[in-house]
């Protein structure tokens, strides 16, 4: 039976090419793997191999011919003793594949992203529940310990997490309680141990990977994004990484440019990741427990300066906070201030000062950046008609920039002033104390921004 | 590359086993040839890295593996999937980006997975699969079973830093992982000699205390034997093992690679003298384990399987547009197979 040999596509972008040279002639016997011709693509000259075996019955395109379209018949293979059919008349020839090649994009309507959720203002715990003053540090440790007691597959790995009891003492006591099998000191190899953590998650475990700080996670970001975040999608839902990457993020104090970056906006951009940035000890505890149980990779951005701060934490057997639920830390009608993580300290301080001047700010603590509770932001902005965002990260491609775009698209008609993004300055972090103070966002800047949008 | 060995000098190998190796290697070869053809017809897009020439590596190692052992590899992954028993139809349909593919068309040539067959991808960033493989081995050790993971990577990946970070931790924690360096001698267009002055890649494990060996990757029986040694080492709790399997890829790095960095004679010589499938074919015939007609029947059967896969990959519909938005987040943890 005759087989048509078609002009092949030999690069991802080739549409036509030059048949540079035939390496066979009519009457030659070829078997699969034999080089039949040299073809010039848009990129290079390629050798074209036979797939089927047979005798070259007829060469239809002479060598040297330019502009031969992909899938044009260039030669016909026949079996021994068989006549050469006319080109295009081979009944069993491979059909022109262009016809079955997936065609035009379909209706955009069916590709719309899932709808946003509605605002949920229920409190994190009931009013009659006892609370205890707890540091963020203790809250994180308690959350990990509770989840490790609950699930044998949860383990903690990272630099100095075990015998040293944590570089920032977040894992204090965990080695004693859970042993070296589940609290694992790693060598200083972020890329490697992040990848091992992801592999362990593929294998069914629930790793908590601690980075001594998120600055060092830049060494590991390929494993976080390409391996942890994308595998569920790339595998059609067959497997993913149920795990937590955690550690301090952003500026500490006087540690210079390489140890002071805020990665909130970076990770927030990635589909497949969930991103938490807690402010209070209750946030830290409730969100950490949710993060460990979540079947997806979670980025948990802590802050060194907040570790020692104390907050009320409910005394409950199992306190969790759902992702995608912001908290209104302070109600008000005049302006909405949106922040997260340590940005909340500036936001709340500014709100106090503004209150003294008769401006009532509503302060929203986002807590999770992906999924982001935009419903709560929008509901507030529709009430106050003004918004200021606060973060320590840089201005270009910031979290606040994203929030501004959401407000523009969803609540443009409600705005009485442009949204202002208060951010860290657009500079690497300086070491000098006075310069560092100016590089960070300040409460005074937030106060000024709120006055601008309220035209005071 | 070691000198050519005399074929048929393996008295303890049964006809059944040899025929099995022949079938499996031939399936990979014919499948890849068909994939190349479908690429030429525009049915497969983007990057497509063929395994032709390297078949003995995965077939030999899979012959040494047991049920429950895991494997993870790079983007040159079709051979690994076929060798561990994944359905050729699902693989080819993934290549054409169709609903019937292993990743519902969302992964492509470089990104396929199978929980059922313990195949963990299909990874497109050179060497990223090496720590992932050690992590899979970590999970087995943590659970206390005796499973072993094969982490495959190429000679190009062998120069990546994360490989050595992983060697260090794998040996430190005695992880049951076999690091399989598929040394096909070219990292895209850069030969091993042009990328390192320490070309014996397996010996680098010594710096971390990991034993290993070089293996003739064109000889499926040699690969299997070495694989058995490696697995025995790992399963007995002694930690990782390195196999540097010397092999050769006949085709370019990907479909658009004209492979001008080596001569046509070099490729042809390898095909003529060292071809892994021809070696087994010769053993079968000279050992009178099979006749020409027997082998022809196998060839025909394999061709049928590959043609069915190609047909399926053309007929399977494109994924529904709703699939764009699925599998981004899991609502529950997929259960370990």
Assembly ipTM: 0.94
- Please check whether residue B153 is in contact with residue B73, taking contact to mean a CB–CB distance below 8 angstroms: yes
Is 80 exceeded by the pLDDT of residue A172? yes
Torsion, Cα B197 B203 B205 B209, to 10 degrees, reads -130
Phi (first) and psi of residue B170, to 5 degrees: -60, -40
Is the four-CA dihedral A96, A102, A106, A110 of positive or negative sign? positive
The domain locations on chain B are 15-309
Q: Please check whether residue A31 touches B, CB under 8 A.
A: no
Q: What is the pLDDT of residue A117?
A: 65
Neighbours of B306 (CB within 10 A): 22
- Domains of chain A (ranges; CATH) run 3-89 (2.40.50.100), 131-314 (3.40.50.970), 327-453 (3.40.50.920)
Given pLDDT bands bounded at 50, 70 and 90, which one contains residue A118? confident
Q: What pLDDT is stored for residue A358 in this prediction?
A: 97
> Rounded to whole angstroms, what are the CA distances from A214 to A195, A249, B306?
15, 5, 48
A100 interface with B at CB cutoff 8 Å: yes
A30 CA to centre of own chain: 51
Instruction: Check if A190 is active-site.
Output: yes
Dist. CA A237–CA A233, nearest whole Å: 6
- A195 CB-contact burial (10 Å; exposed 0-12 / middle 13-18 / buried 19+): buried
Q: Which two tokens stand for residue A206?
A: 């629930």
- With CB atoms and an 8 Å threshold, state whether B328 touches A233: yes
Query: What mean pLDDT comes out for the span A51-76?
Result: 90
Q: Is B197 exposed, middle or buried (0-12, 13-18, 19+ CB in 10 A)?
A: exposed
> Per-residue confidence at A87, pLDDT binned at 50, 70, 90?
low
Q: pTM value?
A: 0.91
Q: Which residue of A has its CA nearest to B99?
A: A236
DSSP 8-state code for residue B17:
H
Q: What is the DSSP letter of A227?
A: I
> 3-class DSSP state for residue B332?
coil
Within 10 Å of residue A104's Cβ, how many Cβ atoms? Answer: 4
- For B79, the enclosing helix (H) or strand (E) is helix B78-83
DSSP annotation of B321: G
**Confidence grade of residue A88 (pLDDT, cut at 50, 70, 90):** low
> If you write DSSP's letter for every residue of B115-161 in order, what string do you get?
TTTTEEEE--STTTHHHHHHHHHHHHHHHT----EEEEEETTGGGSH
Tell me if A47 and B97 make a contact (CB, 8 A cut-off): no
* List of chain B residues with pLDDT < 50: 3-8, 337
pLDDT tens by residue, A393-427: 999 999 999 999 999 999 999 999 999 999 999 99
Q: What is the mean pLDDT of residues A352-366?
A: 98
A143, A202, A421, B16 from A258: Cα distances, Å: 29, 32, 24, 62
Residue A193 to residue B172, Cβ atoms within 8 A = no
Cis bond upstream, residue A371 (ω within 30)? yes
Beta-carbon separation of A205 and B314 below 8 A: no
- Candidates A32, A101, A111; nearest CB to B33: A32
How far is A296 from chain B, CA to nearest CA, in Å? 6
Q: Is the distance from CB of B29 to CB of B21 less than 8 angstroms? A: no
CB contact under 8 A, B41 and A71: yes
Of 3.40.1130.10, 3.40.50.970, 3.20.20.10, 3.60.70.12, which CATH number belongs to B15-309? 3.40.50.970
CB burial string B135-145: b at 16+ within 10 A, e below: bbbbbbbbeee
Q: Which residues 33-72 of A have a C-beta within 8 angstroms of B?
A: 33, 35, 41, 43-49, 51, 70-71
What percent of chain A shows pLDDT beyond 90? Answer: 81
The verdict on whether A259 is a catalytic residue reads: yes
Q: Which residues in chain B touch residue A295, judged by CB atoms under 8 angstroms apart?
A: 329-334
Greatest C-alpha distance within chain A:
101
For residue A102 the two structure tokens come to: 């997936």
pLDDT of A102 over the 50 cut: no
Whether the bond between B180 and the residue before it is cis, its omega within 30 degrees of 0, is no
B:196-235 residues touching chain A, CB 8 A cutoff: none
Beta-bridged to residue A134, according to DSSP, are A311
- What is the Cα–Cα distance from B70 to B55, expressed in whole angstroms? 18
Contact state of A205 with B142 under an 8 Å Cβ cutoff? yes
Predicted confidence band at A116 (pLDDT cuts at 50, 70, 90)? low
Please check whether residue B143 touches A, CB under 8 A. Answer: yes
Q: Is 80 exceeded by the pLDDT of residue A101?
A: no
């Amino acid at each position: 039976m005759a087989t048509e040999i078609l002009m092949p596509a030999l690069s991802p972008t080739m549409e036509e090419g030059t048949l540079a040279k035939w390496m066979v002639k009519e009457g030659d016997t070829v078997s699969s793997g034999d080089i039949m011709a040299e073809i010039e693509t848009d990129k290079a000259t390629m050798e074209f191999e036979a797939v089927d075996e047979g005798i070259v019955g007829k060469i239809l395109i002479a060598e040297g011919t330019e502009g031969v379209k992909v899938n044009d018949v260039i030669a016909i293979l026949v079996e021994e003793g068989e006549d050469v059919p006319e080109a295009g008349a081979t009944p069993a020839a491979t059909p022109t594949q262009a016809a079955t090649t997936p065609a035009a994009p379909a209706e955009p309507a069916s590709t719309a992203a899932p709808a946003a959720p509605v605002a949920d203002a229920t409190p994190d715990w009931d009013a009659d529940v006892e609370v205890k003053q707890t540091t963020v540090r203790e809250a994180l440790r308690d959350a990990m310990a509770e989840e490790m007691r609950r699930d044998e597959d949860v383990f903690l790995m990272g630099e100095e997490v075990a015998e040293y009891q944590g570089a920032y003492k977040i894992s204090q006591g965990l080695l004693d309680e859970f042993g070296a099998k589940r609290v694992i000191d790693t060598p200083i190899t972020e890329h490697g141990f992040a990848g091992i953590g992801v592999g362990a998650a593929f294998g069914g475990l629930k790793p908590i990977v601690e980075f001594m700080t998120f600055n060092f996670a830049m060494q590991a970001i390929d494993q976080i994004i390409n391996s942890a975040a994308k595998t569920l999608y790339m595998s059609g839902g067959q497997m993913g990484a149920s795990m937590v990457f955690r550690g301090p993020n952003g500026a500490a104090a006087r540690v210079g440019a390489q140890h002071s970056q805020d990665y909130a906006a970076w990770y927030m951009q990635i589909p497949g990741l969930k991103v938490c940035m807690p402010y209070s000890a209750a946030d830290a505890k409730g969100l950490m427990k949710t993060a460990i149980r979540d079947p997806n990779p979670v980025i948990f951005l802590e802050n060194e300066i907040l570790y020692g701060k104390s907050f009320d934490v409910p005394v409950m057997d199992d306190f969790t906070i759902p992702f995608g639920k912001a908290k209104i830390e302070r109600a008000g009608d005049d302006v909405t201030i949106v922040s997260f993580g340590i940005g909340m300290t500036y936001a709340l301080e500014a709100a106090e000062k503004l209150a003294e001047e008769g401006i009532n700010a509503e302060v929203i603590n986002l807590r999770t950046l992906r999924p982001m509770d935009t419903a709560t932001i929008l509901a507030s902005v529709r009430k106050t008609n003004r918004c200021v965002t606060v973060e320590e990260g840089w201005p270009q491609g910031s979290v606040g920039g994203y929030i501004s775009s959401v407000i523009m698209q969803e609540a443009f008609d409600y705005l009485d002033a442009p949204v202002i993004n208060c951010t860290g300055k657009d500079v690497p972090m300086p070491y000098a104390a006075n310069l560092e103070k100016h590089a960070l966002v300040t409460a005074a800047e937030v106060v000024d921004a709120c006055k601008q949008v309220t035209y005071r | 590359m070691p000198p050519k060995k005399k074929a048929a000098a393996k008295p303890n190998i049964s006809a059944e086993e040899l025929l099995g190796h022949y079938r499996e290697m031939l399936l990979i070869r014919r499948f890849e040839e068909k994939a190349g053809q479908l690429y030429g017809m525009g049915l497969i897009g983007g990057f497509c890295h063929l395994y032709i020439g390297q078949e003995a590596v995965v077939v030999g190692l899979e012959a040494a593996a047991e049920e429950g052992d895991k494997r993870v590899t790079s983007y040159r992954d079709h051979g690994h999937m076929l060798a561990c028993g994944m359905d050729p139809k699902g693989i080819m349909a993934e290549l054409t980006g169709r609903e019937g593919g292993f990743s519902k068309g969302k992964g492509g040539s470089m990104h396929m997975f199978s929980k059922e067959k313990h195949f963990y991808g299909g990874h497109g960033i050179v060497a990223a699969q090496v720590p992932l493989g050690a992590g899979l081995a970590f999970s087995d050790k943590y659970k206390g079973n005796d499973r072993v993971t094969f982490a495959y990577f190429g000679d190009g990946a062998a120069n990546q830093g994360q490989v050595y970070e992983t060697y260090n931790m794998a040996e430190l924690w005695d992880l049951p992982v076999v690091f399989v360096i598929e040394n096909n001698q070219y990292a895209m267009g850069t030969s091993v000699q042009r990328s390192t002055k320490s070309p014996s890649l397996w010996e680098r494990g010594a710096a971390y205390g990991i034993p290993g060996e070089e293996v003739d990757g064109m000889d499926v029986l040699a690969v299997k034997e070495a694989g058995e040694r490696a697995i025995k080492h790992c399963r007995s709790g002694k930690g990782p093992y390195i196999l540097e399997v010397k092999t050769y890829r006949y085709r370019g790095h990907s479909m658009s690679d004209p492979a001008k960095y080596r001569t046509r004679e070099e490729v042809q010589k390898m095909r003529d003298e060292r071809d892994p499938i021809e070696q087994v074919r010769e053993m079968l015939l000279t050992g009178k384990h099979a006749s020409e007609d027997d082998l022809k029947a196998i060839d025909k059967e394999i061709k049928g399987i590959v043609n069915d896969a190609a047909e399926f990959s053309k007929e399977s519909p494109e994924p529904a547009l709703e699939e764009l938005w699925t599998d981004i987040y899991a609502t529950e943890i997929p259960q370990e197979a």
